[in-house]
Amino acid sequence: MSEIIPESIDIILLRQERQLNTNKQLFEALQSGEIITVKKYCNEKELRRYLLELDISLEFVMNKCKTDIIYAKTVAKLISKNSTRQCDLDETEQIRVCNIFPHQLYSC
């Protein structure tokens, strides 16, 4: 019987990758004007705070993001969902890895 080596997960790296992906998806949605995708990847409370604090509309932000890449990247980073607050995705990954382990037992 061969030795079974447990799988390990680097949650910090996983979260960093998830954050970069979220920021990228949000940036692209802001640039292309895809409001549904913006709402999917943004922290809506942070977006509301941003709009209220600057007394601007979402329409203004969306239009400016289409023409100003630096503004779009900055806004995306500011209003994106924070990966460290997405524990359910961490748990899903842990369960996925744990479900792989039993299959290793039976393939020996």
Tens of pLDDT along 16-64? 888 899 999 999 999 999 999 999 999 999 999 999 999 999 999 999 9
Determine the Cα–Cα distance for residues 77 and 57; give it in Å rounded to an integer: 18
- Which residues have CB under 8 Å from 74's CB, separation 6+? none
Q: What is the mean pLDDT of residues 79-88?
A: 70
Cα–Cα distance measured from residue 99 to residue 81, given in angstroms and rounded to the nearest whole number: 27
Could you tell me which of 45, 41, 75 has the C-alpha nearest to residue 61? 75
Which residue's entry shows tokens 């913006």? 38
**What percent of the chain has a predicted confidence (pLDDT) above 70?**
68
| More confident position, 57 or 10 | 57
Distance between CA 73 and CA 30 in Å, rounded? Answer: 9
pTM of the model: 0.72
- pLDDT band with cut points at 50, 70 and 90 for residue 105: very low
